[in-house]
A = this chain, B = another copy of it.
């Protein structure tokens, strides 16, 4: 297998061109690829079409930094705190510029990516009938089902140009183990033209091959893999570190106004070179305090014969 290991900077530079559709934050509130998002901001990517069910505050940061032309999502905010101010400013007042919002429900977004993964132009569902969501989203339409003739909703496929996933561990070819809640990760990986894996650690191919059922991301679908410890902070990575709840609270308070956000962005993103400087800024005590201490190991499975 080809070696795809590279620096996160290079992965973003090569596989996230201006104008690309980018799926990220696939596991909802956990394993959000903040390091990759910050790199996108630092490289000044523009006109991105962001896709994600939720992505907690990462979507808000990308919108505030002016990277997004369109957001296709089911929920944009700060899960613990409520509203996300940059998102509100962009939609309500066009600050820093207007952003097109394509509203989905969690299920219709999951189905859109599933359609992309299955290679079909649409999938049928009973959800969203009678809602304004279907009335306003051109990717949702009523149709008559074959066989039964009943009215159902069709969800148009989404195939992102690039899907960015956070994984616990990967080998150098991008074969990656992921555990915990999977959200829309499997479909977003399969639907995408390119996949960037951001792994907490790069391990030997032997470790990955020891448990093929854990290999949610097959390397031959992956374009680049980068090793970025703590790459999902402040969101949690099961088995590695916990959620930094305070950080989400602080972000909420520190981004109420545009001027506040600009300061926040400089301090936490644009003035830093990468994840190592970010962690220094966070401070060793805080980093250590978030690390998993109560280990809970999986029972082993025998793949022998």
Chain A residues proximal to chain B, CB less than 8 Å: 119-126, 141, 143, 145-148, 150, 152, 154, 156, 168, 177, 179-180, 182, 203, 207-208, 210-211, 213-214, 236, 238-240, 242, 292-305
Contact = CB atoms under 8 A, between A and B. Distances in A.
A37 B134 CA distance: 47
A294 B303 CA distance: 9
Given A124-B120, A141-B146, A146-B141, A303 B297 contact: yes
Given A123-B123, A147-B154, A152-B120, A179 B303 contact: yes
Contacts of A122: 124, 145-148
A148 B121 CA distance: 7
Which 7 A/B pairs are nearest by Cβ-Cβ distance?
A239-B302, A211-B298, A296-B304, A146-B154, A295-B304, A143-B146, A296-B303
Given A299-B211, A303-B238, A121 B150 contact: yes
Contacts of A305: 236, 238-239, 242, 292, 294, 296
Given A146-B141, A147-B156, A154-B147, A301 B124 contact: no
23 contacts: A120-B123, A120-B124, A120-B125, A120-B126, A120-B152, A121-B124, A121-B145, A121-B148, A122-B147, A124-B124, A146-B154, A179-B303, A203-B299, A207-B299, A211-B299, A238-B303, A238-B305, A239-B303, A292-B305, A294-B305, A295-B302, A296-B305, A298-B300
